[in-house]
Amino acid sequence: MDKLLTVDDYLEQRFDLTDDGRWHDLVSGKLVAREQPSDIQGIAILNLTRILGSYFMRTATVQTAYACFELGLVLRRDPDSVRFPPISVFKDGNRFEHLDEMTTDQLPRLAIDHARSPQANSEIAREYLRSGIASVWLIDSRSLALEVYEDRETVKFERHEQEFIPEAEWPGLRIRIAELFEEPGSGGK
């Protein structure tokens, strides 16, 4: 039986992995390769980053939310699990707190990741929610939709194909789903 890795073990060998471990997570002490994002997934993350950045700038006087990118979230210990979602959104705290960190035990309010298969989506969303993250958004670039998961006890699932307005959690934020998948500079054409 292979030895289960800890977060520290994983971080020691991460840069020896393909692409410096960028496409690997640690799940229950075992290395798990993630599929490298497609171009359209990368575009969706870029566009959502822009949308969130504008929103956080507009609302900076009333909230201190901020985003971190590819920060390892320690979801569980013994056996250790760490996931690297493309975007983690923290609701409060110092905006630069995680700047030089590879991983953190502090969990964000929101984890944004790429959709996989329906079963895998449900499993990864539940893993994030069980760890204490309040909301999970999965970007589905195959069907051009945003899947939203909330509530760690009875998982609430919504699929948005036109527009997503999370007014209760993020007042004033409006995401047109088509805008997530537009090539930069295309002007929506």
**What contacts 100, CB < 8 A, 6 or more positions away?**
none
| Residue 88 domain-assigned (yes or no) | yes
Q: Is residue 14 part of a domain?
A: no
Q: Residue 49's pLDDT is what?
A: 97
How far apart (Å, rounded) are the C-alpha atoms in residues 117 and 9? 29
Q: Does residue 26 fall inside a structural domain?
A: no
Number of domains observed in the structure of the chain: 1
Degrees to nearest 5, angle at CA 187 with 85 and 172: 55
Going residue by residue through the chain, which has 189 residues, state the pLDDT in tens, using 9 for 90 and above: 579 999 999 999 988 888 877 889 999 999 999 888 899 999 999 999 999 999 999 998 888 889 999 999 999 999 999 999 999 999 977 777 777 899 999 999 999 999 988 899 999 999 999 999 999 999 999 999 999 999 867 788 999 999 999 998 999 999 999 999 999 887 655
**Residue 100 belongs to a domain:** yes
Q: What pLDDT does 184 receive?
A: 83
Domain that holds residue 133: 36-70+83-180
Q: Residue 13 falls within a domain, yes or no?
A: no
pLDDT at 188: 59
Question: Would residue 64 count as lying in a domain?
Answer: yes
Residue 167 inside a domain? The answer is: yes
The domain that holds 156 is classified in CATH as: 3.90.1570.10
Q: Does residue 60 lie within any of the structural domains?
A: yes
In 22-180, where do the E strands start and end?
A: 24-27, 30-33, 66-69, 72-76, 81-83, 87-90, 103-104, 110-114, 135-140, 145-150, 156-160, 163-164, 175-176
